[in-house]
Amino acid sequence: MIDVRLQLSVSDARRRFDLDIAFATDAPVVALYGPSGAGKSLTLQAMAGLLPVQAGHVRLNGRALLDSAAGINLPPEARGVGYLFQHYALFPHLSVRDNIAFGLTSWRRRLKADDAARVDELIASFGLAAMAASKPATLSGGQQQRVALARALACQPQVLLLDEPFAALHSALRRELRAELKRACTERGIPAVMVSHDVDDVIELADEALVFDGGRITEHLRADAHDLRERLG
């Protein structure tokens, strides 16, 4: 169960945006859907602990990652959250393998044997073995997306947060990678919260859709594919 309530404001000299949302779901994949600037990415960032929250909670299977009333606010690395950023944010100077292993290493220690085995398993399962020593700039868009997904999975997260995971890909590749993402989450039993503008992403992948508008959730749809297309399309 993912149980979220968030109240936060972001502002600069000219603009202010207020987010005030709540949802709870047991869905394997839930999509955050809605127009640009509606607060979808801010929601993911706040769930990951990357953005200060004024009030609210984030609970994952009963474990509080954030509970402002109880004074709980775990740092990002303690939340058990795998994050796939909108533009992948791969480290250009690191190889594919070191990108995937990044969250498991630190300047103090080398990769432990079981972590190294997990990295190898992810490299194999996403078809990246031939390019494991290459730098991201030499990879295709789909290959970079697979590296980003493998990196998000490497720390054995309890939830995956995916910000526009297919935005940079053409439609045939989107279809292929949707299936891979679904398989990766299902095999590992990891729920995913996915931001997408694409109604086909929502229909192909998501079990539920939260419709965002102006920093609020206006609809929580638990619907079949046909119904979703009608209501979102």
Ligand X SMILES: Nc1ncnc2c1ncn2[C@@H]1O[C@H](COP(=O)(O)OP(=O)(O)OP(=O)(O)O)[C@@H](O)[C@H]1O
Which residues are near ligand X by CB under 6 A? 10-12, 15, 17, 36-42, 195, 197, 212
Closest CA to 192 of 232, 159, 217: 159
Beta carbon of residue 44, minimum distance to ligand X (angstroms, whole number): 8
- Is residue 165 within 8 A of residue 179, CB to CB? The reply is no
Closer Cβ to ligand X, 38 or 154, answer by number = 38
Taken in order 102, 137, 153, 43, the sign of the CA dihedral is positive
Beta carbon of residue 93, minimum distance to ligand X (angstroms, whole number): 27
The span from the CA of 178 to the CA of 142, in Å, is 11
Beta carbon of residue 41, minimum distance to ligand X (angstroms, whole number): 3
Closer Cβ to ligand X, 50 or 116, answer by number = 50
Residue type, 18: D
Closest CA to 223 of 213, 211, 193: 211
Closer Cβ to ligand X, 36 or 106, answer by number = 36
The span from the CA of 109 to the CA of 125, in Å, is 26
Closer Cβ to ligand X, 182 or 197, answer by number = 197
Beta carbon of residue 223, minimum distance to ligand X (angstroms, whole number): 21
